[in-house]
Amino acid sequence: MIFRRLSCRPLLSVVGLLLLSPSLAPAAVPESSTPVQETPAERDARMGWWRDARFGMFIHWGLYAIPAGQWNGKPVDAAGEWIMFNGKIPLKEYESLQKQFNPVKFDAAKWAKIAKDAGMKYVVITSKHHDGFCLFDSKLTDYDVMSTPFRRDIMKELAEAVRDQGLTMCWYHSILDWHHPDYLPRGPGSRRPWDTRPTTGADLNRYVDYMKGQLRELLTNYGPIGVVWFDGGWDHTAKELHAEEVVRMMRGIQPKLIVNNRINLPLDFDTPEQTIPPTGIPGRDWETCMTMNDTWGFKKDDHNWKSTETLIRNLIDIVSKGGNYLLNVGPTAEGEIPPESVERLEAMGRWMKTNGEAIYGTTASPFLKLAWGRCTQKPGKLFLHVFDWPKNGELFVPGLKNKVKQAYLLADAVNNAKVELLETTQSDDGVTVKLPAEAPDKIASVVVLEIEGPAEVEPPSIRQSAGGSVFLPAVEAVIHGKTARYESGEGKDNVGYWSDAQEWVSWDLKIKRPGTFRVKVIFACEDGVEGGRYAVEIAGQKLTGTVESTGDWTMFETADLGTVRLDAGRHTLVVRPVEIPHGALMNLQAVVLRPE
Ligand code: FHN
């Protein structure tokens, strides 16, 4: 076992225990989500740089980069940094990796420049992951980088290099610890099946004291830190982890510190992982963290790299919904960021060099949905990120009510002295922008609309066709919920992942020719999942339906639900689950109102 005695003075350790062991501590203040009181203006000031940054680098690095996804010559499933757990590697065996850790090619300045050139504004690195190994010089354990052949404080070198590039240094820190004897998962009496150590004597409060000691080191010895990115808090409650007190301690050292939501308190921002919330997380700061392939820590056999197009469009999509993108790299045991990652980050950097103004410091789109791309905004400016360049040269911006003062291509403004203004025409339905035949960028081209006043958008309402029918497609549905989402491609063009009966969809529509309409639902449902029930509600009328099997999720059929009477004017049609007995309701492709 590799542990130095706690070097803190006896008084501190007694005080530490007093505060940490609930039985001895004074009555704890009730758990709250704001351990440190501040005004909204103070919070906005503290969050300011992070909200402006929009794009950061995540780095998962540690002993797990040595096996790189294989153990005893065999591949180990799942993420590379979980190899100790998934490979059921006994502690002693895994600890022996420490004697091999010698990343001779590690070059902090090179890593920092890769992040900078990619357009990233902050770096979050695993100071300690679940395996308990510390990439920094800790006085509280010998299970750290200073007891490896490398013997250099990687965190110090990286912090300095990151700041030299004008970026912000941030720490990922795992609460969960497969190495520390005092850390027991999910309460007393249990250890991981492959961990043969006795559980007697294990003391979570003492572990929290150790974790606090290391957080003090990380927030005292390495200069200004932007974020502590907790992870692995799922075994214990905020109360058991003394979360409030931990946060107060950290903010006492660095008052401007930002802390994520993974020490089981909401705190400063939410952390959707490997996914982009369909409508963002209204009312919360949030950041999607994502791998570039399928693993956080390096795996030699993981070649499932996302394309540069996907990564750039993910960034735009996330920022258009008000979030930050924390994109991961998993360096090798030699200390190099994989070339596949570097290649993608360089391409993202080229896009950001031209289009950064449409990302940094922007806020979420005023539009619910844009069929051709996304939108971000700053006061007086809309940045239209066009993925699908219109073949007819006309870009329709639905529902925009503002007067457009001028419009131009951002690439034009950034790269050319003389900017070619684009022609715009305003109508009741929105604004049409005349575009050149060629898009400046095949992945995403930005059209800037300078507008008068704050963005004002009338939600697009769908109109009757010449024949009087109304077609309500999934792509135009407003999805009320976090799991149901619009899916397209590979035979899908539907609202899917509809597993939560509390989630519903709606369309706003305009009827000019009133009358009686037959309501038809176009849907698909895999064998065995059928039986869900739902209601279609409009103008105070309700029709119900039961989902039949259509064979699979991409075989669409039409159900006739009956008729409704609609007067002229605006209406909202809602499709609401009544019961979802078998895991999912249906893939809903469209609702059609056909005049009788
Ligand atoms: O278990 C970790 C995982 O290894 C990785 O660090 C991700 C990154 O956010 N977080 C946890 C899984 O949610």
275-306 pLDDT, tens digit each: 998 888 989 999 999 999 999 999 999 999 99
**DSSP-derived 3-state class of residue 259:** strand
Query: Does residue 438 sit in the same domain as residue 546?
Result: no
pLDDT at 34: 65
Q: Which residue from 76, 260, 273, 287 has its CB within 8 A of the most atoms of ligand 1, so it is best to mutate?
A: 273
Q: Which H or E run contains 345?
A: helix 339-355
Residues 99-112 pLDDT 10s: 999 999 999 999 99
C-alpha pair distances (Å), 31 with each of 210, 248, 485: 21, 12, 34
The pLDDT assigned to 368 comes to 84
**159 and 284 fall within a common domain:** yes
Backbone angles phi, psi at 389, to 5 degrees: -70, 125
- Find the 231 Cα to ligand 1 centroid distance in Å: 7
Q: Look at residue 24 and tell me if it is in a domain.
A: no
User: Do 332 and 62 touch, CB atoms closer than 8 A?
Assistant: no
Listed range (27-41, 253-267, 374-388, 494-508) with the worst mean pLDDT: 27-41
365 occurs within a structural domain: no
* Total domains, the chain: 3
Residue whose tokens read 């062991």 = 21
For residue 346, give the CATH number of its domain.
3.20.20.80
> 519: closest CA among 534, 501, 504, 503?
534
Give residue 595 CA to ligand 1 midpoint distance, Å.
53
Using 50, 70 and 90 to split pLDDT, how confident is the model at 460? low
φ and ψ of 593, to 5 deg: -105, 115
Poorest-pLDDT segment among 161-175, 321-335, 412-426, 478-492: 478-492
Question: In which domain, by residue range, is 402 found?
Answer: 373-459
In short, whether 230's Cβ falls inside 6 Å of ligand 1 is no
How many angstroms is it from 64 CA to the middle of ligand 1?
14
Q: Has residue 3 got a pLDDT over 80?
A: no
Same domain, 417 and 565: no
Residues 470 and 446 occupy one common structural domain = no
Residue 188 neighbours by CB distance under 10 Å: 10
Q: Pairing state of beta strands 557-566 and 287-290?
A: unpaired
* pLDDT of residue 9 exceeding 50: no
> Where does a domain end: 425, 459, 493?
459
Tell me the C-alpha distance between 126 and 296, whole Å: 10
Whether 110 is in a domain gets the answer: yes
Look at residue 194 in the predicted model and tell me its pLDDT: 81
Cα–Cα distance between 485 and 585 in angstroms, integer? 13
Phi then psi dihedrals of residue 49, to 5 deg: -65, -35
pLDDT for 12-51, tens place per residue? 333 333 333 333 333 333 444 567 889 999 999 999 999 9
Q: Which amino acid is at 51?
A: R
Which residues contact residue 44 at a Cβ distance below 8 angstroms, ignoring those fewer than 6 apart?
none
Atom from ligand 1 closest to the CA of residue 297: 4
Q: Tell me whether residue 476 is in a domain.
A: yes
Residues 336 and 427 grouped into a single domain:
no
Cα 82 to ligand 1 centre (Å): 9
pLDDT of residue 185: 86
Q: Does the beta carbon of 289 sit less than 6 angstroms from any atom of ligand 1?
A: yes
pLDDT at 458: 84
The CB of 394 under 6 Å from ligand 1? The reply is no
Q: How many CB atoms lie within 10 A of CB 569?
A: 11
186 and 331 fall within a common domain: yes
Q: How confident is the model at residue 491, as a pLDDT? A: 80
HSE-up of residue 349 (Cα within 13 Å, Cβ side): 16
Q: What is the DSSP pairing of strand 373-378 with strand 381-386?
A: antiparallel
What tokens appear for 83 in the block? 């190899």
150 and 223 both lie in a single domain: yes
Q: How far is CA 375 from the centre of its chain?
A: 18
Is 273 close to ligand 1, i.e. is its CB under 6 Å away?
yes
Is 168 found in the same domain as 204? Answer: yes
Instruction: Count CB atoms within 10 A of the CB of residue 182.
Output: 16
Q: What is the pLDDT of residues 40-88, one digit of tens each?
A: 999 999 999 999 999 999 999 999 999 999 999 999 999 999 999 999 9
Nearest ligand 1 atom to alpha carbon 126: 6
Q: Which atom of ligand 1 is nearest to the CA of 271?
A: 9
pLDDT at position 215, please?
98
User: Ligand 1 atom closest to Cα of 79?
Assistant: 4
Q: Which of 326, 314, 319, 316 is nearest to 288 (CA)?
A: 326
pLDDT at 16: 35
Residue 428 has pLDDT above 90, yes or no: no
What's the gap in Å between 171 CA and the centre of ligand 1? 14
**Residue range 475-516, pLDDT digits in tens:** 889 999 888 988 877 788 899 999 999 999 999 999 999 999
Tokens of 474: 């999934």
Q: Which element (helix H / strand E) includes 485?
A: strand 485-489
The CATH code of the domain that includes 395 is: 2.60.40.1180
State mean pLDDT over 179-203.
85
Residue 487 lies in a domain: yes
Co-location of 472 and 439 in the same domain: no
Cβ atoms within 10 A of the Cβ of 440, count? 20
Give whole-number Cα distances, 433 to 379, 407, 409, in Å.
20, 8, 11
Domain holding 538: CATH number?
2.60.120.260
Six token digits for residue 567:
């007067």
pLDDT > 80? residue 422: yes
The band of 187, judged by pLDDT with boundaries at 50, 70 and 90, is: low
Of 60, 269, 286, 296, best ligand 1 pocket probe by most atoms within 8 Å of the beta carbon: 296
Asked if residue 296 has its Cβ within 6 Å of ligand 1, the reply is yes
Predicted pLDDT at 548: 97
* Token couple for 400: 């925009």
Q: State which ligand 1 atom lies nearest to the alpha carbon of 172.
A: 6
The confidence score (pLDDT) of residue 488 equals 76
Place of tokens 């927030």: 219
In the three-class reduction of DSSP (H, G, I as helix; E, B as strand; rest coil), residue 448 is classed as strand
Please give the distance, rounded to the nearest whole angstrom, from the Cα atom of residue 62 to the centre of ligand 1.
Answer: 14
Taking residue 22's Cβ as centre, other Cβ atoms within 10 Å add up to 12
In a mutational test of the pocket of ligand 1, which residue from 231, 302, 327, 329 has the highest number of ligand atoms less than 8 Å from its CB? 231
**Which token pair is 74?**
């065999």
CA distance 306 to 563: 46
This prediction's pTM = 0.81
Question: Is pLDDT at 585 greater than 70 in this prediction?
Answer: yes
Query: What confidence score (pLDDT) does residue 189 get?
Result: 65
DSSP 270: B
HSE on the CB side for 97, CA within 13 Å?
A: 23
pLDDT at site 1: 37
468 belongs to a structural domain? yes
Q: Does residue 366 belong to any structural domain of this protein?
A: no
The verdict on residue 15 lying in a domain is no
- When mean pLDDT is compared across 31-35, 318-322, 359-363, 561-565, the lowest value belongs to 31-35
Ligand 1 near 231 CB (within 6 A): yes
467 shares a domain with 433: no
Task: Say yes or no: 527 and 449 in one domain.
Answer: no
- Return the ligand 1 atom nearest residue 82 CA: 4
Mean pLDDT of the chain: 92
Are both 253 and 334 inside the same structural domain? Answer: yes
For residue 232, which phi and psi values (nearest 5 degrees)? 70, 35
Q: For residue 250, give the H/E element and its range.
A: helix 243-253
Last residue of a domain, one of 427, 459, 491: 459
Residue 184 near residue 202, CB atoms below 8 Å: yes
Which token pair is 411? 């690439």
DSSP secondary structure string for all residues of 317-337: HHHHTT-EEEEEE---TTS--
